[in-house]
Amino acid sequence: MKKQVEDKKAALLEAALKLFTERGFHGTSTAQISKEAGVATGTLFNYFPTKEDLINALYFDVKEKLSRSMGKDVQAQKTYKEKLRKMWYNLVEWGIENQDQFLFVGQFCSSPYITSHTREVVMEEYVFFHDLAMEGLANGELGDYPPEMITSMFYQSSRTIVDYILYSEPQDKNKAIEDGFQVVWQGVSKK
Amino acid sequence: MKKQVEDKKAALLEAALKLFTERGFHGTSTAQISKEAGVATGTLFNYFPTKEDLINALYFDVKEKLSRSMGKDVQAQKTYKEKLRKMWYNLVEWGIENQDQFLFVGQFCSSPYITSHTREVVMEEYVFFHDLAMEGLANGELGDYPPEMITSMFYQSSRTIVDYILYSEPQDKNKAIEDGFQVVWQGVSKK
DNA sequence: TCTGGTATTGACTATTTAGTCATTTTCATT
DNA sequence: AATGAAAATGACTAAATAGTCAATACCAGA
């Protein structure tokens, strides 16, 4: 029973992910989401009292997965540059392998349907990222820029490279990923 | 008469800009837009046959303004680095001074309501940008990266810095703008 | 097999929506 | 002042919407 519950909830989130990205928030009806998920219209509202709750839960879900992928094996790297490189590859590879989630985040990160509460909760998942920037500033590996600026530039650049790879389809994706890292590292590291 | 026509059209675009950014595309009714613009509901459809036509016209309008600001006085600069710096300042300052348009573009650039036709037409306004990257590659000022990658990184970084300035509100905005340029220039220039 | 509580269903509704169109207003020209 | 064509109006409609709720299905434990 518990299993089935999770199944339906996951199916609803998956359906919502696909449809919201394809057709937008108000462009997708709750009926369409239920149908795509293979459940009754009422079932959606058992799990998510309102449509807004649904998209906020979905946003949190996706951002959490992203944050987990992002941090994987980073602390195991020897040098600071290797830590950043690991994180870069985690980010870009996740984006390529999870296109739908990647596009969803891009489309809804500044959307009015995501509440400031959701944004705050999501933020907490990313403190380790901020800490890593602080570490680089403290040990002199990074140029003397505000940490929020560094993290933003790093994260947004990874999105830019994923977009570039998905849209321009370069022959050598790995080259593109490494090129991207070189640009960012040259940009933020201390000369 | 001609004057008034343009007034109403402009009022509709302005109202749509504000409301779409605040409440999303389907979250904003055509009635709300008409009301905000101070015209009758029918008038909107005289100028824009459908709601989609309206948002596409608006998107084109804003992107065109951005492209014009972006290129201003760039060719008058002496060195290549100065050309890029001029463009960087044009971009970031436009974003700060035109927050509403800046946010609108960010929110709708990858939205399903913007047709691929609109995207293509908008693209044409930005060939000079691509050409500038080619120029930098040809004269050895830029690192050996694909030009599309360079333009994307440059443009998206400018967006990141505007976001950073609007959201983090650093004491010294000009320092932040110049810092941003340093990061990007270090990133894409040849070492 | 029976019990009782939980999960699921889908018909239903009150509201909202994009777009229409017959009518009225505006105003340059005569 | 008279004309007429273009612009503006807003009441209207057919369709779609988020969310409800009474009825049903399910299933673990006794």
Instruction: Read off the amino acid at residue B39.
Output: V
Q: What is the pLDDT of residue A7?
A: 86
**DSSP label of A109:** T
Query: B162 in contact with A at a CB cutoff of 8 Å?
Result: no
Query: A164 in contact with B at a CB cutoff of 8 Å?
Result: yes
CATH code of A153's domain = 1.10.357.10
Residues A62 and A124 in one domain: yes
How does pLDDT run across B24-45, given as a tens digit for each residue?
A: 998 999 999 999 999 999 999 9
Nearest CA-CA distance, residue A78 and chain B, Å: 24
Q: What is the pLDDT of residue B33?
A: 98
Residues B70 and B34 in one domain: no
CATH code of B15's domain = 1.10.10.60
Q: Is the CB of A41 under 7 A from strand C?
A: yes
Residues B66 and B141 in one domain: yes
How does pLDDT run across A2-37, given as a tens digit for each residue?
A: 445 568 999 999 999 999 999 999 899 999 999 999
Residues B78 and B34 in one domain: no
Residues A57 and A109 in one domain: yes
Q: Which residue reads 């009022």 in tokens? A: B11
Rounded distance between C-alpha atoms, residue B47 and residue B122, angstroms: 20
Residues packed against strand D, CB within 7 Å: A 1, 4, 26, 28-32, 41-42, 45, 49-52; B 1, 4-5, 8, 39-43, 46-47
Rounded distance between C-alpha atoms, residue B189 and residue B32, angstroms: 48
Query: B100 in contact with A at a CB cutoff of 8 Å?
Result: no
How does pLDDT run across B135-181, given as a tens digit for each residue?
A: 999 999 999 999 999 999 999 999 999 999 999 999 999 999 999 99
Mention every residue, 6+ apart, whose C-beta is less than 8 A from residue A84: A132, A136, A154, A181, A185
| Beta-carbon-side half-sphere exposure of residue B46 (alpha carbons within 13 Å) | 11
Nearest Cα to Cα of residue B88 among B9, B162, B27, B7: B162
Range of the domain at B14: 1-49
Q: Do A179 and B145 touch (CB under 8 A)?
A: yes
Residues A121 and A67 in one domain: yes
Q: Is the CB of B30 under 7 A from strand C?
A: yes
Residues A45 and A80 in one domain: no
- Is B150 within the bounds of a domain? yes
Rounded distance between C-alpha atoms, residue A190 and residue A136, angstroms: 10
Residues A40 and A84 in one domain: no
Q: What is the pLDDT of residue B7?
A: 87
Residues A38 and A74 in one domain: no
Q: Is residue B91 helix, strand or coil?
A: helix
- Is B54 within the bounds of a domain? no
Question: Torsions phi, psi of A142, nearest 5?
Answer: -105, 150
**DSSP label of A154:** H
Find, in chain A, the residue whose alpha carbon is nearest to that of B28: A26
Q: Which residue has better confidence, B7 or B123? A: B123
Q: Which nucleotide is nearest to B28 (CA to C1')?
A: C17
Residues B100 and B141 in one domain: yes
Q: Which residues of B touch A112 (CB under 8 A)?
A: 21-24, 27
- What totals of helices (H) and strands (E) does chain B contain, helices first? 10, 0
Residues A142 and A105 in one domain: yes
Q: Give the closest residue to D28 (Cα–C1′).
A: A1
Blockwise average pLDDT, block size 10, chain A, 191 residues? 67 97 93 96 96 97 98 97 98 98 94 94 96 97 97 98 96 97 98 84
Residue B3: pLDDT above 50? Answer: no
Averaged pLDDT for residues B53-78? 97
Q: Do B152 and A164 touch (CB under 8 A)?
A: yes
Q: For the range A42-50, what are the long-range contacts, defined as Cβ-Cβ under 8 Å and sequence gap of 24 or more?
A: A43/A8, A43/A12, A44/A12, A47/A8, A47/A9, A47/A12, A48/A12
Question: Torsions phi, psi of B145, nearest 5?
Answer: -120, 160
How does pLDDT run across B89-140, given as a tens digit for each residue?
A: 999 999 999 999 999 999 999 898 999 999 999 999 999 999 999 999 999 9
Q: Which nucleotides of C are covered by protein (CB under 7 A)?
A: 7-12, 16-22, 27-28
Q: Do A148 and B157 touch (CB under 8 A)?
A: no
Nearest CA-CA distance, residue A138 and chain B, Å: 18
Query: B159 in contact with A at a CB cutoff of 8 Å?
Result: yes
Q: Is the CB of B1 under 7 A from strand C?
A: yes
Residue B185: pLDDT above 60? Answer: yes
Contact B140, B190 (CB under 8 A): yes
CA of B59 to C1' of C15 (A): 30
Q: Is the CB of A29 under 7 A from strand C?
A: no
Q: Do A186 and B182 touch (CB under 8 A)?
A: no
Residues A181 and A106 in one domain: yes
Q: Can you say whether the dihedral through the CA atoms of B40, B41, B45, B47 is positive or negative?
A: positive
Helices (H), B24-145: 30-37, 41-47, 51-71, 80-97, 99-108, 116-124, 127-138
Q: Is the CB of A39 under 7 A from strand C?
A: yes
Query: B174 in contact with A at a CB cutoff of 8 Å?
Result: no
pLDDT-based confidence at B6, cuts 50/70/90?
Answer: low
Instruction: Please give the tally of structural domains in chain B.
Output: 2
